[in-house]
Every structure is written in C-alpha cells, then in structure tokens.
Chain A
C-alpha cells in the first residue's frame, strides 16, 4: 500500500487490481455491483489476507457473525488498510452474470 492506493490480489487469477485508498473495496473490484448499502449481498467475498475495517452494517440475510469474523464480507462495506488477497466465487469471476436471465 502506498499513498495513492493498494493492490488487490485475486486468488486463482493472473491479474492484480489497484484499489484507491479510502474507497470501499467494491468500487475497485471487477465484479457485478449492486446496492452499495450492505443490503443486497451481491458483492459478498472472502478476504483471505490483509487488513481492512468495516464501515457500515452488513445485512444478516447475507453475512452471519461467524462469517464476518472469518473475513467473509460484503465488499461495499469495507475499506482496505493494506494490500489484500481476496477469493471470488466462480460466478463473480465471470465479471458479469445474467443469472436467471441466462
């Protein structure tokens, strides 16, 4: 992490993303984006390495307390404090999904 930003390593992917310091993590991820309010759950990811803090409530419909303790978060609700390594679902790695409309 430097003054401007930090690196986001995505497990099993050969690319690295650059995050802007202070942004919520989701802003700089290349996945389908949703409500940015912690309500819809579409941006649920697993942070496997790195420091971050949670800046707003995450709906308990999507994140249980034990998940939160294990680093599973809604990426619209967290801000990175270091470089991060994250794990995405197969669906998220498709970058976009039409879901039930496929």
Chain B
C-alpha cells in the first residue's frame, strides 16, 4: 500500500489552565522537548522521534480541552484539491497563512466537523532543528526522557453526529475505518479511523456535547515502556486513569493518565497492522468492556463518561 493523500495527524493544540504545571508534565514526564514559544505565550513541543518542527502546542486558557488538530497531506496540489472536496461535502473552509500562528508550518486549510472539532490540513512544514538522524542513524540523538514518548499518535474525539464525521473522513479525506462499535439499534457509537497501517489516527465516540476531547495518544516503543510510564506516574503522583492493560479494539497496550489541566493522555504501544482491504471489525455496544479493557473484561465507569 502506498501511503499518500492525508498522511498523518501531525499537530494538536491543547487548551490548558496551568501552563507551568502542564508543561512540566509534557516535558519532564512524557518526555517531549520544548521547541519554541509564540509571541502570545503558547508553547510548542515535539517528541524525540518526530522530524517536523513541532507537534503539540499548549495554549493558556480558562477552559481545558481540544483547540484544533492538523493533518499532514502529501502536497500543495493535494491541499487545493482537498479544499474543493471539503466544500463539496458541505463544510465551509478557512485559511491560516504560513508561519503565522504556528511557527515553521506552511499554510493550513481548516474546517469544522459536525462534531464541533476544528480539523486542519497542511502540506509543508519545516524540519525540526533537533530531529532523528538520517545518515547511518543512531536510534536516538540524546537519550529519551521520562516516559520516552516517540510521537503524537492519535486522538479520540467525542461529539454529536459521528456517522457524518466518519463519512467525511472516508469520502473526503480518503481514510478508512478498521474498527467500529454499534448500538443495539444499529447506530454508530464509536469509530476508529486511519490513513496508514496504524489501527487509528483518530477515533470518534457519539456524545451530545460538541468539541469534546477524550484523550491525546502518544506512541511508546513496547510493553516495557508502558511499565516505565506507570513507574513515572507513581513516582511523580501523576493522576492515574486506567491501566496498564490492553485494548482488544486496536490491540494496543496502554496506560491512561490525566495531565494537570484535566486532559486525558494515553501512552500506547503495539496494535495490529491495518490494511484498507481487510474486513472491518465490528463491536456490539454490550461488548465494549472487553473491547476497551481486554484483561479486565468490563468497563471502568469513568472512562467513557468523564471527558474534557
């Protein structure tokens, strides 16, 4: 399979209420590096194994949560074609000029999904100053810190009308849907969506409050690193949510925690290899306990009711 079109989620901006404490969490505990600060005080961060300028932005706000995310696309030509398709689908688009609010990023085209989330697309972005080596490369340049997050991996968004959001991702963005969960009356309750071999680049859960964030996911190397993450959580009293455990959905090995502003983080390893020609995996709502928490076999009550 050639990976083209919409390539990956490459940028997410989060609204946080305590910038200093939250920055310590992402830098010292998750192990991201601070890249720069913007004139309006936002902090740009990246994981050690990412090539691009930055991937996570923390923005001080009086409400915590999702601000926007952006996907890297293959070319400027594709970006123009994509905008036409977005408008044909019925969503209005907006434009952010290059090197404006996001240092190092090219122009972005954005839209708002029916779920209330702003999603943007960009084709060009500067290389990070400190990035993985490419000539006879070592596995890392400087030793990874803390939980050793390798990259911003995915996000789970809660909002109304996810059947439409899923259709947008498939028909407009060209992504595919390896796994879904349906209600007893056949309505979509949750959808895991990807544009690559990862089991998900983003996921949606049906929810009545728009623009809600369930979690931001970061990739770890393996199951041992999940244990390392748990050690860091215990040592530094990071608020634990769920795990270590394994999802049957995506098959990812995982642990969840809360950042100091009340945003749920997942650090995650493994997962199956997704292919667009494989049959879709389908979950019944009543089996979500097993689907989400494979070892425990039952839902943790706060997991799907507490969101930010």
Residues of chain A touching chain B, judged by Cβ–Cβ distance below 8 Å, are 32-40, 42, 56-57, 59-61, 96-101
Q: CB distance B305 to A32 under 8 Å?
A: yes
The tally of residues in B whose CB lies under 8 Å from a CB in A reads 27
Q: CB distance A59 to B305 under 8 Å?
A: no
Residues of chain B touching chain A, judged by Cβ–Cβ distance below 8 Å, are 17-18, 62-65, 206-208, 239, 258-264, 285, 288, 299, 301-302, 304-308
Residues of A within 8 A of B285 (CB): 101
Q: CB distance A33 to B302 under 8 Å?
A: yes
Chain B: minimal CB distance from A58 (Å): 8
Main SS of the interface on chain B? loop
Give the nearest-CB partner of B205 in chain A. A100
Give the nearest-CB partner of A33 in chain B. B302
Q: Can you give 28 A-B contacts (C-beta < 8 A)?
A: A32-B301, A32-B302, A32-B306, A34-B262, A35-B239, A36-B239, A36-B258, A37-B239, A37-B258, A38-B17, A38-B64, A39-B17, A39-B63, A39-B262, A40-B306, A40-B307, A40-B308, A42-B306, A59-B64, A59-B308, A61-B63, A97-B301, A98-B304, A98-B305, A99-B304, A100-B206, A100-B305, A101-B304
Q: CB distance B239 to A59 under 8 Å?
A: no
Residue of A36, A40, A60, A96 contacting most chain B CB atoms (<10 Å): A40
Residues of A within 8 A of B301 (CB): 32, 96-98
Task: Identify 20 new A-B residue pairs, CB closer than 8 A, beyond the known A35-B258, A101-B304.
Answer: A35-B264, A35-B308, A37-B17, A37-B18, A37-B64, A37-B261, A38-B17, A39-B17, A39-B263, A40-B64, A40-B308, A56-B17, A57-B18, A60-B62, A97-B305, A98-B299, A99-B305, A100-B206, A100-B208, A100-B305
Given A34-B262, A37-B262, A42:B302 Cβ within 8 A: yes
